[in-house]
């Protein structure tokens, strides 16, 4: 399949002159982790990621998006879908803009990992189990941990979500999206509520529940169905009640590629 057959047309966009406060609200309302940023001629100038939203002081409400966009892999409508998927994984993106051509950066649509999940051939990897591809070194947090502390750990590790563990049992997940949706942006300094670093709330106030888990002996297809149904970025892998790993969308795409 080619990108044009599976991409989302007429996607939600931001303009380079929009304020970061507006971008934060759009991400909350639309439940999106990344958004394409275009100029006045609908040409893509970059992507805005949720981690950039968390790096803006709440008091700077007049900050525009233009200075916070990041580069992205070039994907075109006629490109083979799984080749585009490889470019996305290599660049660390879950969504990328689809450009008209290498010379014309006019936005044609958005290609996401979910689009690829829905359309890829799952049968060719039917022999793979979750335990074969999961990450076994898992960074976790406690429900009593300060959100600001966890966000600093996210920056240091590059992970966008941590399982929340209490008495050895996974009880939820804390992600960047949780922090943005709860309004605790820029919690390293001060969030939009005026909360200082040491006053940030505990993880249990904003984490996602219930905890979605899967067994390491389950087939790859089962994880794909969970991701499609729940629109989540990662699943905790549990064996005999204990956390043994974590699997995310990128792990699955890598296995299928």
> What is the pTM for the complete model shown?
0.75
For position 235, what pLDDT does the model report?
Answer: 95
Residue with tokens 């792990």: 251
For position 200, what pLDDT does the model report?
Answer: 75
Assess contact for 252 and 223: CB atoms under 8 A. yes
Please name which of 130, 152, 153 lies closest in space to residue 140, comparing C-alpha atoms: 153
The answer for 244, left when phi > 0, alpha when psi is -120 to 50, beta otherwise, is alpha
> H helices of 67-146, where?
81-91, 113-119, 130-133
- C-alpha to C-alpha distance for 182 and 60, rounded to whole angstroms: 18
Per-residue pLDDT of the chain (257 residues), as tens digits, is: 999 999 999 999 999 999 988 888 898 888 888 899 999 999 999 999 877 876 665 445 578 888 889 999 999 999 999 999 999 989 888 899 999 999 999 999 999 988 988 887 766 566 889 999 999 989 999 999 988 888 888 878 878 899 999 998 999 999 988 887 777 655 444 444 444 555 678 999 999 999 999 999 999 889 988 988 888 889 999 999 999 999 998 888 888 87
For position 159, what pLDDT does the model report?
Answer: 85
* Domain annotation for the chain: domains and CATH numbers: 3-119 (3.10.580.10), 130-256 (3.10.580.10)
For position 30, what pLDDT does the model report?
Answer: 86
């Amino acid at each position: 399949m080619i990108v044009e057959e599976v991409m989302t047309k007429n996607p939600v966009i931001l303009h380079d002159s929009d304020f970061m406060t507006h971008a934060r609200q759009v991400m909350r309302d639309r439940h999106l982790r990344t958004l394409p940023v275009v100029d006045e001629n609908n040409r893509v100038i970059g992507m805005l990621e949720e981690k950039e939203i968390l790096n803006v002081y709440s008091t700077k409400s007049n900050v525009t998006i233009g200075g916070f966009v990041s580069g992205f892999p070039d994907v075109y409508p006629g490109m083979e879908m799984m080749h585009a998927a490889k470019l996305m994984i290599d660049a660390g993106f879950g969504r990328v803009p689809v450009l008209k051509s290498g010379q014309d950066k006019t936005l044609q649509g958005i290609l996401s990992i979910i689009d690829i999940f829905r359309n890829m051939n799952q049968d060719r990897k039917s022999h793979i189990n979750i335990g074969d591809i999961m990450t076994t070194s898992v960074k976790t947090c406690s429900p009593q941990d300060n959100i600001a502390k966890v966000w600093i750990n996210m920056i240091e590790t590059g992970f966008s979500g941590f399982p929340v563990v209490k008495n050895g049992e996974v009880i939820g997940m804390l992600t960047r999206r949780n922090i943005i949706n709860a309004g605790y942006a820029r919690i390293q300094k001060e969030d939009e509520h005026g909360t200082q670093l040491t006053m940030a709330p505990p993880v249990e106030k904003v984490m996602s529940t219930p905890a979605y888990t899967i067994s390491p002996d389950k087939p790859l297809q089962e994880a794909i169905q969970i991701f499609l149904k729940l629109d989540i970025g990662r699943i905790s892998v549990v064996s005999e009640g204990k956390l043994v790993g974590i699997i995310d969308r990128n792990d699955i795409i890598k296995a299928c590629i």
